[in-house]
Structures are given as C-alpha cells and as structure tokens.
Chains A and B, each alone.
Chain A
C-alpha cells in the first residue's frame, strides 16, 4: 500500500517535471531571442558610451578653437584698423597738400589777373600772357581730385565702422562657448553616473574658456536704425514716466 502511494507521488512529480519541460520548451525561444537582443544591444550601448566619451573629449578642443577664432579675428581686425589708419593719415596729408596747392594757384591766378591792365596795347606781351594763362591750373580742375580724396577718407572711416562686427561676433562666439560649457557639464555628469572608465583615458576635460569673458547672448550685427529707434522710444517713455512721477511726488 505504501509502495503504491510512493509510485503515485513519483508519477505526480514526473508529471510536474514534464510540465516544466513543456514550459521550458516554450520558454527557450523567448530566452533565445532575449539573448540575441542582448547580443545586438550590448555593442550598441558600448557604441553609445564610446560616442559620449569621444564627444565629451572633443568639446574642450572645439571651445579652444572658438577662442582661437576670436583671438585671430581680433588680431586681423587690429591689422585692418592699422592699415585704415595709415591710409587715412596719408589721405589727410594729400588733402592738406592739395588744399595748399589750390590756395596757391588761386593766389597765382589773382596776381596774374592783376598783371592784365599793364600789358594792354602790347601784342607780344598779351600773346605770352594768354599762353601762360592757359598753363595756370584752375582750382575747378583740382577740386574734383580734392573731393575724391575726401571720399576715400570717408570710405576708410566706413570700413572702420564696419569692423564693429568683430566685437559683436566675439560676443556671439563667447555665448556659444558658454553653451558648449553647459553641454560639457551635463555630459561629464552623465559620464560620472555611467562610470565610463574609458573617458578618464582622455585626461583633463576642463574647458579652456578664458577668465573674465563677458558677453551679451543676444548680440547681433544689425545695421538698421530700428534698434536705436527702439532704444530712443524706451528712453523717451521712461523719462516721461519719471517726470510724471516727480510731478506726482511734488503734489502728494
């Protein structure tokens, strides 16, 4: 009797075991696909990790290059300003000489005209007088030249004014650098969380942002009058408000 119970128990266990095998058979393809998925995913994750590490290591270099661009454009702008100043100085010299020449020619012409009454009735002298008169440079012939030099000086000054773009782009680049710095901070935090050892091999990831750099993130090179008009309107509105406030205070 006891043997019969044991056998029944054994059959039950075998039944359970069979059920387990049947379940296992059903589970194996799922486990297999999970393993396949892991096989595919792990390299992808490694790739992502490497990309983050690689990008993070490149950010300081990008920032450094932006700083170099700012320095290079400032240097180039200074060189252009030097040349423009040199051109302006030369032009001013020529302008001054031309003005002196025009004045001298005008005086000569006046003196020459004063000679005219004394040679009337002397055909030989009159002939020479007329010949010389043709050779005296009239101011109206030199004036256009003088005006051209004045225009060159104005153009040179306009080049100077256009170089304001350097200061504005330098501020824009500083704003971009600041943005890069924020991304760098976030990525560094992420790397620290993920404990990507690989990144540490890249060494110092500190940003090479120069000390004391200040900038306007909204700086833009806009030559229209609109910006200044907006400023003037705000100042006008504010001054009117202030005046009214002051009046109100007086009567309160």
Chain B
C-alpha cells in the first residue's frame, strides 16, 4: 500500500523534523497542515491521504479535537492516526486513547520510535 502522510503541527520546526524523518524512513508522499482545522480541510480535499501524524497543542483546533472529527466522519473514521506530542501524563494518554488515536509518541522522539509506531499501526490496520 502506498502511503500518503498528513503531518499536522503548528510548529514549523517540528513539521520539518517529522517530514525529514519520514523521508529518511523512505516515505516521500507527505502533505502538511499548521492546525487541526487546516488538516480537516486537506483531508476533505484529498482522499489519497491515508495516514495522519498530529501534534496535540495547536491553535484553532487541537490534535485531540482533530482525532474526534476524523473519527466522527464516515469517510475518515478508520484513518490511522499517530499522536506526536510533549504531553506524556497518564490522563492525557487515556484521553487520546478514548478519542481512538492509534498510537502515541512523546517528544522528543527518535526515528526508531517513529518507525516502530508507524509499523505497529500499519500491521494493526492490515490485520
């Protein structure tokens, strides 16, 4: 399956780091968004996007609200979503899981962790 990633983060630096990491992992098809609302616009405009990597703390629409919006739309309900965030407290992780995030990475991340989580999600989706 060819993957097209949507990387959502309000920090330009973080977006570039995630995109560079994806390039290093061999993924080339990547689009970006600066907040949850922009991400939803891109998702509705491009149905070839099939993997979302999102931050939590963002203006306009947070990562958590983005996941809820993705899950509530029939077209994107089964979209694989990986959260990459600084928020590492138990309550936050449980809240994200309740919103049905597929996996969770805390910043600062390593490329190994990113690869591992993407692979785990893809394996779950495939099964």
Checking A161, A212, A230 against B17 with a beta-carbon cut-off of 8 angstroms, the contacting residue is A161
Across the interface, which residues of B come within 8 angstroms of A161, CB to CB? Answer: 17, 21, 108-111
B89 in contact with A212 (CB, 8 Å): no
Kindly provide the distance from the CB of B110 to the nearest chain A CB, expressed in whole angstroms: 7
- Chain A, 222-252, CB within 8 A of any chain B CB: 222-223, 227-228, 230-231, 234-235, 238-239
Interface centre among B60, B88, B104 (most CB of A within 10 A): B88
Nearest opposing residue in chain A for B105, CB measure:
A228
**How big is chain B's contact interface, by range?**
35 or more
Residues of A within 8 A of B110 (CB): 161
Q: B9 to chain A: which residues have CB within 8 Å?
A: 167
Chain A residue nearest to B14 in the complex (CB): A167
Interface size on A, residues (CB 8 A): 37
Taken residue by residue from 78 to 110, chain B's Cβ proximity to chain A (1 for < 8 Å, 0 otherwise) reads as 000000011111100110010000011111111
A179 to chain B, nearest CB (A): 16
Which residues of chain A are near B11, meaning CB under 8 Å? Answer: 74, 166-167, 170
Q: A81-B13, A170-B11 are in contact. Are A216 and B56 (CB under 8 A)?
A: yes
Residues of B at the A interface (CB closer than 8 Å) are 9-14, 16-17, 20-21, 24, 56-60, 62, 85-90, 93-94, 97, 103-111, 113
